[in-house]
Amino acid sequence: MSIKRAQEVLSLARSVVVFTGAGVSAESGVPTFRGGGGTAVWRGMDAMQLSSARMVGEDLKLVWEWFEYRRDLLARCEPNLAHLAIAAWESRFPEFTLVTQNVDGLHDKAGSSAAIELHGNLWRGRCLECSSRVPLDMTPHVEIPPACRDCGGNLRPDVVLFGEYLPAESFEKARESAGRADVCLVVGTSALVYPAAEIPLVCAQRGATVIEVNPEPSGIGGSRSIMIAGRAGDVLPLL
Ligand code: BV8
């Protein structure tokens, strides 16, 4: 029933925003942050502790080891049917924007051309001194933290950690798209992390229809939203 309603709404949509969280990558084998499944705990600490701004100052080496662990795990993960469906939707609507909270790069790998990465990307490093950004390759780094090739300063993951501001330009772009959306498809997020979780709220406030795909819907879209309780890899191809 809700899939049929969602298909109808999407068939009439002119401007679509897709908002994804860790759940869209769960079927690719990437641990989520909260909820069921293999949540990311490493050396007895959870993601909230490891991925905090404070940790960069306290123990940059540990932060690097945590991200090296995740890159090593991600190097073996492939996009799943949900990522592929979202990539195919780019050309299906007059206006389409993909906004992701994920830092795993799987939307790019699936062929999405312009995902707005609100929390950065763990395949990039950024220099603490000169802020220049560098791509990080798959192989583990011999020295941790790696040195910036331009100025020799220490690199950090180019990722927004807890307690850090989101990249203003990306967040503004996401908010603008949310303000124009007819439909917002929310996939695989507990919608607990702010300010990212404001994006579907902006859509709902502007009268867009929110469709949520999640085995445990977060209810972010409010009473008018269409809830589809299911896994992203199963539901999105149906939509
Ligand atoms: C900020 C990169 C202003 C890192 C991430 C104290 C001090 C400072 C700030 C705060 C504070 N207390 C609260 C805050 C605000 C904080 C916040 O919101 N905390 C929450 C947890 C309460 N936010 C911030 O700190 C943000 N910045 O506020 O700046 C500021 C500045 C200075 C001082 C004060 C304030 C920055 C937030 C960005 C953090 N970085 N990622 C990394 O990856 O290591 S966020 C991180 O959580 C991931 O990106 C993740 O995507 C994101 C959100 O989680 P979800 O994506 O929703 O994933 P989750 O695991 O929660 O849920 C998965 C869902 O999938 C579940 O619902 C599950 O049911 C579903 N699912 C499972 N399987 C499937 C599925 N769905 C579909 N299909 C399936 N198969």
Over residues 167-222, the pLDDT tens digits come to 999 999 999 999 999 999 999 999 999 999 999 999 999 999 999 999 999 999 88
Percent of the chain with pLDDT over 90: 86
Whether 48 has a pLDDT exceeding 90, the answer reads no
The predicted model gives 29-33 an average pLDDT of 89
Mean pLDDT of the 6-31 span: 97
What mean pLDDT is reported for the chain? 94
Report whether pLDDT(37) > 90: no
Check whether 38 has a pLDDT greater than 60. Answer: no
Distance of CA 85 from the midpoint of ligand 1 (Å): 24
The pLDDT value given to residue 35: 60
Residues framing ligand 1 (Cβ under 6 A): 21-23, 26-27, 32-35, 37, 47, 51, 101-103, 119, 159-165, 188-190, 192-194, 213-216, 218, 231-232
Pocket test for ligand 1, best of 33, 64, 220 (most atoms within 8 A of CB): 33
141 has a pLDDT exceeding 70: yes
3-state secondary structure the chain: CHHHHHHHHHHHCCEEEEEECHHHHHHHCCCCCCCCCCCCEECCEEHHHHCEHHHHHHCHHHHHHHHHHHHHHHCCCCCCHHHHHHHHHCCCCCEEEEEECCCCCHHHHHCCCCCEECCEEEEEEEECCCCCEEECCCCCCCCCCCECCCCCCEEEEEECCECCCCCHHHHHHHHHHHHHCCEEEEECCCCCCCCCCHHHHHHHHCCCEEEEECCCCCCCCCCCCEEECCCHHHHHHHC
Which residue, judged by its Cα, is nearest atom 23 of ligand 1? 194
Ligand 1 atom at minimal distance to the Cα of residue 33: 60
**Domains in the chain with CATH codes:** 2-29+78-119+164-238 (3.40.50.1220), 31-76+135-159 (no CATH)
Q: What is the pTM of this model?
A: 0.96
